[in-house]
Amino acid sequence: MLEIGLSHYLIVSAFVFCAGIAVMTLKRNAVGILIGAELVLNAANLNFIACGRYRVGGLDGQIAAAFVIVLAAAEAAIALAIFLSFYNSHATIDVDHGDALKG
């Protein structure tokens, strides 16, 4: 319990992952869903770096985490552009109104 090992990080990351899933299902605001996705990606990153330090060794875990950060930034930019376009056409950000593919 006092000696910090790999499993401590894995438990924290599992908790943050489940919290991210809960945020994605509970929030009706589209930006809230994006926040949940960021939580999930963050939990995955923590796993990569913790496993890279304690087990696999070398830089592989850190490089994978760096690519995840880049993809998260790209995803956030595209998602916010879609939200802006959605808000312009629907005048709301409630995802329950986004039930049509066109218009």
Query: In angstroms, what is the minimal distance from the CB of 103 to other proteins?
Result: 12
At 75, the amino acid letter reads E
2 part of the interface to other proteins, by CB under 8 A:
yes
For residue 87, what is the enclosing H or E element? helix 60-90
6 part of the interface to other proteins, by CB under 8 A:
yes
Distance of alpha carbon 62 from alpha carbon 69, whole angstroms: 11
DSSP-assigned letter for residue 58: T
C-beta atoms surrounding 1 within 10 Å: 5
Q: Binding mask 10-29 vs other proteins (x if CB under 8 A, - otherwise)? A: xxx-xxxxxxxxxx-xxxxx
25/100 with CB nearer other proteins: 25
Q: Which of residues 68-97 bind other proteins (CB under 8 A)?
A: 69-74, 76-78, 80-85, 87-88, 93-94
